Chains A and B, each alone.
Chain A
Amino acid sequence: MELEELKSLWKSSDPDFQQKDEVEIASMLKRRSLSIVDTLKRSAWFELSITLILSIGLLVYAFYLPAGGLKWTSISILLMCQVYTFYYVKKLVLLNRFNPAQENVQANLISLVDRLSSYLKFYQRSYTILYPVYFVLGLLFGGLERGADEFFENLVRPRTIVLLILIGSLFYFISTRFTDWYLQKLYGNHLQKLKGLLNDIQG
């Protein structure tokens, strides 16, 4: 079977394509992209907008609060929001470095694998830091709510320390495992597929 034979067979095949008219094509230019990078960008923009709205709301709220526990709680959350703002901006910067699909297939795959890997690494590093922060903040707010003196008195007891280490480790283990699984499900499989394609080209 020669290539010419296949070409002649291919040319005689005429799959039933539904021709698109100009109106249909014009409407395609205004739709939302389904590409992985654009989807990630959209969700990062959404998260950033929510964080900024929440920050402004909290700032106004904290400004009118009298000095006390609630004011400091609001300010702490506001500080967390600033960390998140930086985090989402950094995510967007990473995503914007993706080149559009203009390069050749191999160069595009190398670039995608590289960028998506950095994005996932950044994501993983961020939650490795943020989860313990959540835990400590949650513990602090919960404890202070019941009274600061009682909270600090309990905190220095060996039994409480052991219990906190156990709960903290369990919380950290479950939350990181869950996030790893979630990331793998969302982007990891796609990344594996891209690596496989790259191996295929380079092999």
Chain B
Amino acid sequence: MEVEEEKKFISLINDHQGLIHKVCFMYENDPEVRNDLFQEIVFQLWKSFSSFRGEAKITTWMYRIALNTAISGFRKQSRNVKTEDLKEMHFNISDSWSDNREEDIQRLQGAIRQLSEIERAMIMMALEEVPYEEIAETIGITQNNVRVRMNRIREKLKKIMCN
């Protein structure tokens, strides 16, 4: 029974590992810490897998656990990496707005990393086409609040990216 459950879970992670990678990418710059976070998310998902009864969409459930782990449940070992990387990123994205798509993508990723951790979670889900209803359910705020905050986040991103 447990073996069947494990097989089912591994296959689920295999199918949706992009989602976990994206959360890790949003919250950690250091590849080693990112890998630790990936493992921790998988572990936390596994711990909760037996109690998942399909009331929510599987991706909503995965986002909820992945974000909870990345935002509040995970204590990373190396603490200075993030600040230094952010400083560097801020420096990179302060250059002028370019026509190069690759550079724009990097600017967007860098700009998102300068948002607060909650804002990062919201914009990431919005960019992944998660409906506002599910974002509200995952974060624990109203849909109206999501709308208001998304406008603010968009403004913030615009400001960071165009500076």
B43 touches A105 (CB 8 A): no
B73 touches A101 (CB 8 A): yes
B39 at interface (Cβ–Cβ under 8 A)?
yes
Which residues from 126 to 154 on chain B have a C-beta closer than 8 Å to any C-beta of chain A?
126-129, 137-141, 150, 154
B39 touches A10 (CB 8 A): no
A1 touches B43 (CB 8 A): no
Which residues from 19 to 72 on chain A have a C-beta closer than 8 Å to any C-beta of chain B?
19-20, 22, 25-26, 28-29, 31, 33-37, 39
A194 touches B109 (CB 8 A): no
Chain A contact residues, majority secondary structure: helix
B73 touches A104 (CB 8 A): no
Residues on the B chain within 8 Å of A103, using CB? 64, 68, 140
A201 touches B75 (CB 8 A): no
A197 touches B44 (CB 8 A): no
Residues on the B chain within 8 Å of A104, using CB? 64, 137-140
B47 touches A12 (CB 8 A): no
B121 touches A101 (CB 8 A): no
A3 at interface (Cβ–Cβ under 8 A)?
yes
Contact of A9 among B25, B46, B108, B119 (CB under 8 A): B108
Residues on the A chain within 8 Å of B47, using CB? 33, 100
Give Cα distance in the complex from A64 to B66, angstroms.
56
Contact of A105 among B36, B40, B64 (CB under 8 A): B64
How distant is B140 from chain A, measured CB to nearest CB, in Å?
3
Residues of A within 8 A of B (CB): 1-3, 6-7, 9-13, 15, 17, 19-20, 22, 25-26, 28-29, 31, 33-37, 39, 100-109, 112, 190, 194, 197, 200-201
4 cross-chain pairs, A with B, having the tightest CB-CB distances, nearest first:
A106-B140, A104-B140, A101-B68, A10-B127
Write 13 A-B pairs (CB below 8 A) sorted by A numbering: A6-B123, A7-B127, A10-B127, A20-B17, A28-B39, A28-B46, A101-B44, A101-B64, A102-B48, A104-B64, A106-B139, A107-B140, A201-B139
